[in-house]
Chain A
Amino acid sequence: MQLNTQVKSIKTLQKSKERILDLECDGFLFAYITDRFDGDMALFEGYDGAIIQPTSTLLMKDLLHRFRSASDWTARLLPIFIHQPMELEFKYRQLVDGVIHQLDQLFPAVEQVKVIKAHLVNFQLKTFPTYEKDTIYKLLIYLLSRKQNVLKAFIDRNSSTGYTYMILEGLLAGKSPYRLLEFAVEEGLFHTEFQDSVYTCNSCEDGFLMYREACPKCHSTYLTSQDLIHHFSCAHIGPEKSFMKNDQDLSCPKCDKSLKHIGIDYDKPAVMHHCNTCHHEFQAFQIVATCCTCHKTTEVEHLFKRNIYTYHVTDKAMEFVKAGADFTRQPATESNIPGTLSEAAFYLNMQYEITKAGKNRVMAGFIRWAPYETLLDKMGRQGYQLIRTNIANQVKSSLQSIDFLSVLDNALVFSCLQCSQDLAQRIVERTVHLLSHLIKDNLTNLSIEFEGSWLALNHREDVKLEIIEHLNRPAW
């Protein structure tokens, strides 16, 4: 079926000389623009769709991202079509609603617009005060209005992790999508399917790393390697250099015999590497990775491993956007550990408990660990956060359900409600013992010293001050 397409009007933008060509087809109005369009997104109010004529992939991608991250729903959800003779690269298809090969054949586009509009009628277009919630909601509306149920990651050299979720890239404006998607999974709006795993810098999460062979002692890459020579008749073994005579001949430094024939007089059983910086001798290199963004050099064992998933929209998500429902939990912030309180919330709750207890004392437990700077440097921000989370989970398992805790940079403070001083002491000592063993058994190349303390909080004092003062004491 072929529908008649008419050019209705041409608008020229004042600043850039770019134009919007209005095309009407079967009562639907399309804006025809090139990918150089840099005008206001509000201009698309009243259009049923947009047709982009690409001049370069980069410009097209940028423009598509501008549409999909637009603040108003109209531009964000506007059906967009690409006008080009060839098919569109697969990874960009999620950002557009179709490809138009000829302008006089807009029927498929019109049909797609009808479908999208029909879907959108069922959804509640609302906004949320938190960035994470708002982004997920908008993502869902977009995907479901296009009947797209899958969010797949594509390899992309421009992405910091090496993988990109095309539709999210526009929505996130450069921010990492992973925490957001984890939150959506926790809410039951997506389920995951493993796609790949990548290593990223443990400090800045960048995936562009330079891998090098380095000295295991000082991480220097200024290394030289040489064979070990084994002289059969006297059993002497040493670096090839020690056997060199006149730069050409080999002579045993132990027995002065000349080594003529490999396999008969001698062999080379191994290779040794020499660090020219610290003069360490070794056989196994330490592979290190230097982050191209933050320049931090990390042993590969300490890189951050991230699983890349394909996300599938769940049935619950459909109901969620139809009802315009609210999220059930708060998204975790970067330093937030699930199940713990922020420092301020901890003081507030502790104050309530002290007031409630009246003249009875309320016990608090403290655990701190060292060396903070070394750990942070070695493990990176991500790795250290993982350790903090594990410590918090271990402490949580030692507490009663009514107790609460807060994790600071290198310490942890928790309530010991309904505990005597003796019991609080026992909890702290047992937890320190457990943590020490946990770290010793699982992280053999890291040493963390734990110490614990307990304190009966006085209802006449300022709780916050009392706790901070206790935490700052050099010795407990």
Chain B
Amino acid sequence: MVDPFEFIDYWQAAGWQKFLRVFWFFFFFEFTRYVLIDFIVLFFYFIKRKIYRGDWEEARRRLYREQPLVSVIVPGKNEGRHLFKLVKSLAEQTYRNFELIVVDDGSDDQTAWIGRDLEQNGLIDLFISNKVRGGKASGANAALSFARGKYIVHLDADCSFDRDAIEEVILPFYYDEKIGAVGGNLEVRNHQESLATSLQAIEYLKVILTGRLVTSTLGIYRIISGAFGAFRADIIHRIGGWDIGPGLDGDITVKIRKLGYKVHFQPSAHGLTSVPNSFAKLTKQRLRWDKSIIRFRLRKHRDIFYPNEQFRFSNFFSSLENLTYNVFMNIKWYIYFIDILFNFGGLLKFIIPMNILLYSMANFIQFAAIIFIVQKPEEKRRLFIYLPLMVLYTGFYLRIVRSVAHFKELFFYSSYKDPWNPYKSSRMAKQLGL
């Protein structure tokens, strides 16, 4: 353990040049991207929101004048236990003109029975029970085949929503007709359950609320969460619905962007989701998510980087930013780590505590800003005590999981072996290079 006075004395004596040399990764990449740029963009976002408030009110009036039919689709496997809670939260919605289509994707529990019962009692408009599992994408497409709405809202069954969530998530379509898809804002419902869920709650607030608000404002918003997103039905039919996952939500967002439509994040469309309550489950989930970056961004949609007639700068930057901060920066971090180990190996007792201090400080600044814009801030304040652990969570744990996922996907195409998708579909997808 380093003596605090020795620690302070050392960094005082080292000077700012050495300080920057040692922590170049933090200052030039992480702090700049996730604190500095975020703050600047958020500042402009709030100003813009204030200026265009009247336009949003007009959009709401247009929405209520038209009252379009919205198809809420919920595909899933073994989600029966969540269905009643979900339909209850949907029954409370301020926007009433929607149909609810639930797809049971070959469940082997009581989902089919529960779903059918809810349908017979009028709480679900259409319940489709597939006897054979086809995967999440096929479930969503089955619902899409029978959806009649002008807009499609895709939800996960384990989510619940604020009373105005549907109204808020379709509102942007009436604000800007070039918007083709809207992502909803998800927070963690079970944040008090375990350390893993508390850390994910902070991560969701940072990545979804702040991160997506920033990328949306910059026009490079790249993923509409499958748990809560809205799409224009004509566009989604045009692109043939969802393709095989994992990572189908990111994939469909890119497909919509490629058609030239804007993708918007709506922070006021608010829902809650349950996250994995143990690190083992979380690791499994993140390995799946992280593999999709390689599979979809780097392979399937690599044409975004080609200077052809479909080329768009916004799409180019959207994918570039994604790959830079998720793949390349990940590699760069290892370079940084080796650099420190080789060049400053003897100073680790000063570097590690300072690293933790810097990242914690950045986390505190970020989280303090989040508390100002988040719903029910009093509930979120308890998460402050977990902020020091975020350094280990994002800096090491998630980074290592991500590295493993990228490595496995890059060299072994392991997403095609993921049991999350049925073998029959993965086999065909791999064969066709999808």
Contacts and interface: CB of A to CB of B under 8 A. Distances in A.
Interface stretch (A68-76, A199-207, A230-238, A425-433): A230-238
Contacts of B432: 233
Given A232-B428, A234-B243, A237-B138, A269 B106 contact: yes
B185 interface: no
A228 B142 contact: yes
A270 B128 contact: yes
A233 B139 CA distance: 14
Given A254-B241, A270-B130, A238 B145 contact: yes
A235 B141 contact: yes
A235 B128 contact: no
A179 to B, nearest CB: 32
Contacts of B132: 230, 267-269
Contacts of B142: 228, 230, 237-238, 269-270
A239 B428 CA distance: 21
Interface string A20-44: 0000000000000000000000000
Contacts of B63: none
Nearest to A279: B148
Interface string A231-256: 01111111100100000000000110
Nearest to B139: A237
A284 B125 CA distance: 12
A160 B100 CA distance: 43
B83 to A, nearest CB: 15
B141 A236 contact: yes
A284 B240 CA distance: 27
A283 interface: yes
Interface stretch (B29-37, B53-61, B115-123): B115-123
Interface in A49-107: none
A235 B120 contact: no
A232 B244 CA distance: 8
A233 B145 CA distance: 17
Contacts of B141: 235-238
B247 to A, nearest CB: 13
A228 B142 CA distance: 8
B240 A233 contact: no
Contacts of A216: 120
A463 interface: no
Contacts of B121: 444-445
Contacts of B243: 234-235
B112 to A, nearest CB: 10
Contacts of B139: 237
A237 B128 CA distance: 12
Interface in B420-434: 424-425, 427-429, 431-432, 434
Given A230-B134, A269-B134, A236 B434 contact: no
B243 to A, nearest CB: 6
A235 B119 contact: no
A46 B425 CA distance: 91
B105 to A, nearest CB: 8
A445 B123 CA distance: 10
Q: How large is the interface on B (under 10, 10 to 19, 20 to 34, 35 or more residues)?
A: 35 or more
Contacts of B427: 232
Contacts of B96: none
B214 interface: no
Contacts of A282: 126
A448 to B, nearest CB: 15
A267 B424 CA distance: 10
A233 B129 contact: no
A235 B244 contact: yes
B137 interface: yes
A272 interface: yes
B113 to A, nearest CB: 11
A281 interface: yes
A216 B106 CA distance: 23
A266 B135 CA distance: 13
Contacts of A254: 240-241
Contacts of A264: 424
A235 B138 contact: yes
Given A255-B240, A284-B119, A444-B121, A235 B137 contact: yes
Given A216-B120, A235-B134, A235-B425, A283 B240 contact: no
Interface string A174-200: 000000000000000000000000000
Nearest to A268: B132
Contacts of A263: 424
A263 B422 CA distance: 12
A212 B134 CA distance: 32
A75 B186 CA distance: 85
Nearest to B141: A237
Contacts of A239: 145
Contacts of B116: 283-284
Given A216-B120, A233-B434, A235-B242, A283 B128 contact: yes
Given A228-B142, A284-B116, A233 B425 contact: yes
A223 to B, nearest CB: 15
A230 B138 contact: yes
B146 interface: yes
A438 to B, nearest CB: 17
A234 B427 CA distance: 12
Contacts of B130: 228, 230, 237, 269-270
Given A230-B138, A269-B131, A236 B240 contact: yes
Contacts of B425: 232-233, 235
A328 to B, nearest CB: 44
Given A237-B134, A444-B121, A232 B128 contact: no
A241 to B, nearest CB: 11
B95 interface: no
B127 interface: yes
Nearest to A236: B141
Interface string A268-294: 111010000000011110000000000
B335 to A, nearest CB: 38
User: B134, B139, B241: which has the most chain A beta carbons within 10 Å?
Assistant: B134
A281 B126 contact: yes
Interface in A208-226: 216
Contacts of B128: 228, 270, 272, 283
B119 A234 contact: no
Nearest to A444: B121
Contacts of B244: 233-235
Given A237-B141, A283-B126, 13 more contacts: A230-B132, A232-B134, A234-B240, A234-B244, A235-B134, A235-B138, A235-B243, A235-B425, A238-B145, A270-B130, A272-B146, A284-B116, A445-B122
5 contacts: A228-B130, A230-B138, A237-B130, A281-B126, A444-B121
Interface of A: 216, 228, 230, 232-239, 242, 254-255, 263-265, 267-270, 272, 281-284, 444-445
CB-based closest 7 A-B pairs: A235-B137, A269-B130, A254-B240, A233-B428, A237-B142, A269-B132, A232-B428
Interface of B: 106, 116, 119-122, 126-135, 137-139, 141-142, 145-146, 240-244, 424-425, 427-429, 431-432, 434
